[in-house]
Structure 1
Amino acid sequence: MSYVSPPELVRKMVDAGQAKVLMSARDTVIRAYMAGAILALAAAFAVTVSVQTGQPIVGALLFPVGFCLLYLMGFDLLTGVFTLVPLALLDRRPGVGWRSVLRNWGLVFAGNFAGALTVALMMATILTYAFTVDPNDVGEKIGSIGASRTVGYADHGAAGMLTLFIRGVLCNWMVSTGVVAAMMSKSVSGKVIAMWMPILVFFYMGFEHSVVNMFLFPSGLMLGGDFSIADYFLWNEIPTVIGNLVGGPLFVGLTLYATHARTSAAPKEETADPAGAPVRALER
């Protein structure tokens, strides 16, 4: 059957987390670089479609194409390893410790950022004819996104920071649901359908994805967005990474692991013997 049962799914999640931790540094960085680049292209595509059609829902419907492609090719996003890798640690898999987990996260972050930054530079070049003209409508939109989602949060102070953090939590709840849901099917079509739905939700709702933002904000700065590098890191990237780190493991990885890998004991039922004395039945 093409469907993977939840207990088997959790075993696959733990196996995937262990494999990512034990991967060589070279392979980890290359896969992360390609994931960041492909997701950045998908974000640029979605913004372009939204601007040209005037319908943000169209861009959101099409954005998951990038996520599906990078997943099917075995590339790694920071949001995905945030959810899968801790499960291998929790399951006490050989070769998996806190140092190796942090090493994996650091390498994936660096690779994702480098890939997204490469595409940001390419897109800024395209949208300005190598910085010789003002940005077109798409370029202006990317710049305005950067300002509204940095300075826009800062204008609200602590309330803005909390809002940003929660959007990061909700984002990786959805994104990691897509990563895990893809493992539930053994067919390409099933994987794509399972991924598409939660990714659509996160993008249209404007939740904060650390890797997408690695493209949007550097490109926004190159295109004249009214915010600074410090604004980007303090009022978006760092809180978004923390929110992503909380949302994926807490609402996806740990919940599935707790109820399908470390299940609680089945309840015992009381029955009565022929003499009327209660006895304990065997566990189901």
Structure 2
Amino acid sequence: MSYVKPAEVLESMIDSGQAKAETSAVQMVTRGFLGGAILAFATTLAYTATQQTGIGLAGALVFPVGFAIIVLLGLELVTGSFALIPLAAMKRRTTFGRMLAAFGWAIAGHLLGCAFYAALYCLVITKMGTDMSNPLIQTIVQASESKTAAYRQMGGEGMALVVLKAVLCNWMVTLGAVMAMTSKSTGGKIAAMWLPILIFFAQGFEHAVVNMFVIPAGMMLGANVGFADWWLWNQLPVLLGNLLGGLVFTGVMLYLSHASKREPEYLTAVSKGVKASEEPV
């Protein structure tokens, strides 16, 4: 049988979080670069499928191919790590400092990988800047503006909305990372992780790494989006929402669901009112 039981999956989550936290900066940036670029490939594939068929769900059906490649090759997607590394820190298998460093290096890699692919892709669809007739150009420009200016125009409600969409997104994305651990076969891993990723993409939720490609690409193609729009009205709140969604709804809740009763160190400490400075990180 290739199925892995939930309690074993939880141990794999903690082991994976520890391994990620201990990865060197060079490796984390490199894995993040590749992960960001591959997810950007998948995003343009999804946009192409939607444009060719006129059916949004067609794009969502093919988008998870990028996530599957990233997971199977052991590359990095910081949004998935938002559920894994904090568990390792909670179990004292790594430190809070290493967790933040891993997140930071992964994000740096994603930004480089997404920007690299965005530059090359924009050259391709504009035929080296000579032809702006490709319908995908307008698709990316509109997506870039809807992910930034549209929220800005709503003000405080827009900020709340983008965070909520990011929370819902990474609830599913981190489930995809975990679902890959429920099988020992390659086919089983792909099928299991495909489902949550399809769910998030089909509903237009906000994913930080996808946006590291879409928004800069839109800016390169002439979108009415500034650097402040990108970071203040999307990238930073989306990173926050992705962190909350992955940490709370996947990491903590699966831990509460399946942790062994014999070693509830963190929960025991909290229940006894241990000071925050004394809690394991």
Same fold at TM > 0.5: yes
Letter in 2 for 1:75: L
Asked if the contact 1:153/1:161 (under 8 Å) is kept, the reply is yes
Identity level (%): 45
| 4+ runs deviating over 3 angstroms | 262-265
The 3-state SS of whatever aligns with 1:3 is coil
Matched, 1:227 2:248: no
Matched, 1:204 2:202: yes
Partner of 2:154: 156
Partner of 1:50: 50
Letter in 2 for 1:108: A
Letter in 2 for 1:201: I
- Which of 1 and 2 has greater Rg? 1
Measure the CA separation in 2 of the matches of 1:64 and 1:109.
Answer: 20
Matched, 1:7 2:40: no
Measure the CA separation in 2 of the matches of 1:92 and 1:100.
Answer: 12
Partner of 2:247: 249
Matches within 5 A, 1:185-204: 185-204=183-202
Measure the CA separation in 2 of the matches of 1:53 and 1:264.
Answer: 53
Measure the CA separation in 2 of the matches of 1:134 and 1:244.
Answer: 34
Letter in 2 for 1:77: L
Deviation at 1:135, TM superposition (A): 4.9
- TM-score, normalised with respect to structure 1: 0.90
Measure the CA separation in 2 of the matches of 1:259 and 1:205.
Answer: 27
The 3-state SS of whatever aligns with 2:182 is coil
Which one of the candidate residues 103, 125, 147 is aligned to 2:101? 103
Deviation at 1:264, TM superposition (A): 8.4
Partner of 2:274: none
Measure the CA separation in 2 of the matches of 1:135 and 1:247.
Answer: 38
- Greater Cα shift, 131-140 or 35-44: 131-140
Letter in 2 for 1:43: T
Measure the CA separation in 2 of the matches of 1:176 and 1:264.
Answer: 26
Asked if the contact 1:64/1:199 (under 8 Å) is kept, the reply is yes
Partner of 1:81: 81
Deviation at 1:52, TM superposition (A): 1.8
Deviation at 1:189, TM superposition (A): 1.1
Measure the CA separation in 1 of the matches of 2:31 and 2:169.
Answer: 22
Deviation at 1:263, TM superposition (A): 3.7
C-alpha RMSD of matched pairs (Å): 1.2
Measure the CA separation in 2 of the matches of 1:132 and 1:148.
Answer: 26
Partner of 1:142: 140
**Greater helix share, 1 or 2?**
2
Measure the CA separation in 2 of the matches of 1:262 and 1:221.
Answer: 49
Letter in 2 for 1:68: A
Matched, 1:121 2:83: no
Which one of the candidate residues 159, 168, 171 is aligned to 1:170? 168
The 3-state SS of whatever aligns with 2:75 is coil
| CA shift digits 1:212-259 (9 cap, x unpaired) | 000000000011112212111111111000000000010001111122
Letter in 1 for 2:138: E
Measure the CA separation in 2 of the matches of 1:231 and 1:210.
Answer: 14
- Greater Cα shift, 127-136 or 230-239: 127-136
Measure the CA separation in 2 of the matches of 1:223 and 1:78.
Answer: 27
Measure the CA separation in 1 of the matches of 2:124 and 2:30.
Answer: 25
Partner of 1:272: none
Query: Runs of 5+ in structure 2 lacking a partner?
Result: 264-281
Measure the CA separation in 2 of the matches of 1:204 and 1:136.
Answer: 23
Partner of 2:31: 31
Asked if the contact 1:144/1:226 (under 8 Å) is kept, the reply is no
